[in-house]
């Protein structure tokens, strides 16, 4: 069972001479996020591993990444190990990463699928392949979830572009018809937040820093570069959503931008960390838009 005991009060009687920055961030609603996901993010940010281990982990991870990338580019051949990568990732998450971080990772993949399916439902061709990637547990991630998550994104971009070329007036049709929010649904994640262990201590960003090293080892050089670049597609997907909703007010939240100016792979972990937050902000935006679209119908029903 998933439990959301945040240890943060909704209306804290704070010390006005020494206010808690994390409580202020939790209570602030300038950038709306799912309240349970935000509580887990705050708990993750306050963890001792992020405060004391993140910087040395970054240093070690970037040195190893440089060695691996150099070695693989010098080889006359390329190799990959998808199965090893995913099973190792699931093992690593289950035994060394906090339940909060594990929950957020599984949730991220699910809401990512919902966003893709929302774009398909309201796109130039609703028949293009949809995402069916909905892991519920950390063990489910072992089934090539990370690689499939990237492939879904890139294949969607190809399919979306081709459909736009064939249906140049699709956006007007969508606006005339009305936006379909059926894909914006709560996701089901089965991560026990009370299950602790002596070694389950790593916060989300520290875990990503370490895993990027293994990711680079188990993918070919081109595959790793493709995965890194995918993080900067946040801007593209933000534009897709805003064109459909005709609302660009939230786009300032997007920090991963300009895929035509690829970021360094040494920043990949930070970019992935931001990608998770941006996706949460996008999904909450769509949930709010869905609620607003239902309000007139609810009001008419009550009348």
Q: Are 212 and 218 in contact (CB under 8 A)?
A: no
User: What is the tens place of the pLDDT at every residue in 126-173?
Assistant: 999 999 999 999 999 999 999 999 999 999 999 999 999 999 999 999
pLDDT value of position 14 = 76
- DSSP state, 7? -
**What is the spatial distance between Cα 260 and Cα 59, in angstroms, rounded to a whole number?**
27
| Reported confidence tier of residue 98, pLDDT bands at 50, 70, 90 | very high
For residues 277 and 41, is the Cβ–Cβ distance under 8 A?
Answer: yes
Using the predicted structure, report yes or no on whether residue 302 has a pLDDT greater than 50: no
**Confidence (pLDDT) at 181:** 98
Instruction: Write the pLDDT tens digit of every residue in 71-82.
Output: 998 989 999 999
Count CB-CB contacts under 10 A for residue 166: 9
């Amino acid at each position: 069972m998933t439990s959301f005991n945040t240890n943060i009060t909704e209306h804290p009687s704070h010390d006005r001479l020494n206010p808690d920055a994390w409580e202020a961030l939790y209570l602030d609603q300038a950038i709306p996020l799912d309240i349970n996901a935000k509580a887990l993010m705050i708990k993750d940010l306050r963890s001792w591993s992020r405060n004391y281990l993140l910087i040395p982990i970054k240093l070690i991870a970037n040195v190893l990444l440089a060695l691996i990338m150099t070695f693989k580019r010098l080889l006359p051949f390329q190799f990959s190990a998808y199965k090893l990568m995913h099973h190792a990732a699931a093992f690593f998450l289950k035994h060394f990463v906090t339940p909060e971080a594990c929950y957020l990772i599984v949730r991220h993949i699910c809401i990512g699928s919902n966003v893709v399916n929302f774009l398909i439902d309201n796109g130039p061709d609703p028949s293009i392949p949809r995402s069916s990637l909905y892991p519920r547990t950390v063990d489910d991630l072992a089934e090539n979830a990370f690689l499939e998550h990237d492939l879904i994104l890139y294949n969607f971009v190809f399919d979306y572009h081709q459909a736009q070329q064939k249906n140049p007036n699709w956006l007007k049709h969508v606006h005339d018809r009305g936006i379909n929010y059926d894909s914006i649904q709560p996701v089901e994640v089965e991560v026990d937040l009370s299950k602790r262990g002596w070694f389950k201590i790593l916060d989300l960003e520290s875990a990503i820093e370490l895993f990027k090293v293994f990711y680079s080892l188990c993918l070919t050089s081109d595959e790793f570069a493709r995965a890194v670049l995918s993080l900067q597609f946040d801007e593209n997907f933000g534009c897709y959503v805003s064109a459909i909703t005709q609302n660009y007010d939230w786009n300032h939240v997007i920090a991963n931008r300009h895929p035509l100016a690829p970021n360094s792979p040494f920043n990949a972990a930070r970019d992935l960390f931001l990608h998770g937050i941006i996706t949460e902000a996008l999904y909450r935006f769509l949930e709010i838009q869905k609620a607003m679209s239902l309000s007139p119908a609810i009001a008419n029903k009550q009348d």
